[in-house]
Structure 1
C-alpha cells in the first residue's frame, strides 16, 4: 500500500498532493506513534517495496466509450504477469477501490483486477487508474483508462408527424378563412333602377335592345297595308 501511495506522489496526483498530511500510519501498530508517511519516509528505507518504486513504471493508456445506463468493464492488464499481483483502482468519483475494501452494489472488482460498472452514469466519466503490484519481484505497473459516458441521443422527428402537423395547420387556416370572411354591410344602399339600367346597357349591345322595337314597327306596317288593300277593293252598292 505504501508503494502505491508513494508512486502516486511521484506522479503528482492531486488526490495525494492535496491530502499529504492526512495519510498516516502507525509504527509497530502503536496508535500513539502515528506518522505522516508521505512526508517522513525514513521509516521505510529498509522496506523492499521501495525497490519497486525505483523501478521504471510502465503505463498503458486506453479510451473507453459507453452509453448511459450500459455496463462497462475495465481490465487492469499491464506488463506484469506474476501470479501474486495485487490491484488497486482509483476512480474519479468513488476514490480508491480494492477487492476487499470496497462495498458498492453499482460497481464490482474482481481478483484479476477487472473493474465492472453495472450501470454507467455521466458522473462515472473520467480517468480511472489501476496499479498492479508484484511484491515478490518488487515491481509495479499502472494502467490508465479514460472513460466517457455518452448521453442518449434524442430521437429524430418523424416525417409522418411533420406531414400530419402541416395538414392540420392548413385545415385550420382554411376554416379560419371560411368563418372569418367579412359579411355584407347592412347599412349599404341598394342599387337604383337607373343604375341597373345603365349597367345592363353597358353589358348588352344596342342592337339586341332595339330588336323588339323593330319587330313592333314591322307588325304595325303590315296591319296598315292590309287595311289599305281592303279599302281599295270595296265597291259601294246603291
Structure 2
C-alpha cells in the first residue's frame, strides 16, 4: 500500500485554511514526472564556482534554497543573532571555510555546527558572544583555525572546546577575559595540538607562570596589552623568554609590562645575579643516585619569598612547594635536587628567577645533566671508536688487494697480443681479433706509410679444420691510410677489404 500525499508532507487542507506551497510544488513536479529542481544562487548573493558570498545583505535568517555545493561560504556583515540547530536548511558536506564575522551573534546552540562537519576554518570574529558554553563547538572535529577576536567573551565554561581535537590556531584577542583559559590544554577532548593562542588585549592581571614555562615550549602564546601585575614571577618569565628569544615576546616587547628590567619599583629589586659571564655547566650522576644542581648565576643569600622555577626536560618545578616524596625538588636557595636519578632525567635544565639583569644571548642560564657512568660511557666509546678504525683499515686493505688483482688480470690476460711472424700472420688470443703490427723496417720502399693503428676484424675460424678449405689470407693494409678508410663511407659492414696486388 503506497503512502498518500498527506502522509508524506503532512495534512494539507485544500479547500480551507492552510497549504504548504513548497510541498505542493514538489508533489506536483513528482506527479508530472519532473525531478525536483536543484537550489539556485539567490539574486542577492554571489556564487562563483565553489564559493558563495552573501556578505552585506542584512540577512537575519538564511535563505531556504541556498546551494550546498560550496567549499567557502561568506555570511559576514549581516544581522544574524542566533545560530540555532537548523540555521542552515541542508547540510554543507563540502564546506571548508565558514565566515560569520561582523554579525550580531550572541548565542550558539549545541550541535549548531553539525551541518558543517568538515569545516577547517571558522570565523566568528566581531560578534556579541559573551559566554562560551560547554560543547558549543561540537561536531567540528576537523577544525584547525578558530577566530573569536573582537567579541565580548568574559567566561569560557569547562568543555567549551571539547571535540576540537585538531585545532591548531585560536584567536581570543580583544575580549574581556580575566582568567587564563588553562583548560584548553588539559581538559579531555580539548585542542591538545594547539600551536598558536592569541590572548592579547584582554583583562588578564595574572597568568600561570609555571604552566606557561611548560606550554611555551610547544606553542606560541601572545599576552601583550594585558594589565598584568609585574611581580617577581612574571618578571622571571619575561626575562627567561627574552633570553630564549621567544617570538611572541620579542615581536611585541614594547606592549608588555616590566619593559625595562633595570628600573626599580618591584618587590624583587634585590640584585640576585652574579656579574660574571655564565657558561653552560655539566653535571653527571649515576642512575639511582641523588644530585644537587645550583642555580647558575644566583648569588647567596637569596631574598626570602623569592620563587625559583626550574624548567626540566619533562616538567617545571618551583621552590614554593616542597614534597619530600617528589622526584624533583627545589630548595629556597634555588638549588635543584634530583632524587634517584633516571636515564630519562638527562638533558638541559633552566633556572628561571627574577634577576633584574640584562643577559647576553651567549650567556647560559641552563645546565646540562647527564645520568650514567662516565667511565663505562668512555670505555664503550673508545671500544666503538676502535672498532670503527679497524673496519676502516680492513676495508682499505681489501680494496687495495682487489685493485692489484685487477691490474694483474689486465696485464696477463689481455685479449690481444702482437706476435711477429714471417708470414705476416698474427693470431690473437682466442682468434677473435687480428691486429696487424707492422714493422717499418719490413715495409717495402715503394709502400706508402700510414699514420695510426690499423685493425681488421675477421670471422673466427677453427684452428685445425679438416674440410680442406684454405685459410683466409692475411690482408696487408699498410698502404691504406686512415683518411682513405674514413672517406670510403659507402663500404658496408662485412665487405672484404682486399687488394690483390698486396696479398702475400
Which category of TM-score, normalised to the shorter sequence, fits these structures? 0.3 to 0.5
Question: Could you say which structure has the higher strand fraction?
Answer: 1
Choose between structure 1 and 2: higher helix proportion: 1
Instruction: Mark the structure with the bigger radius of gyration.
Output: 1
Report which structure shows greater RCO (CA 8 Å, sep ≥6).
Answer: 1
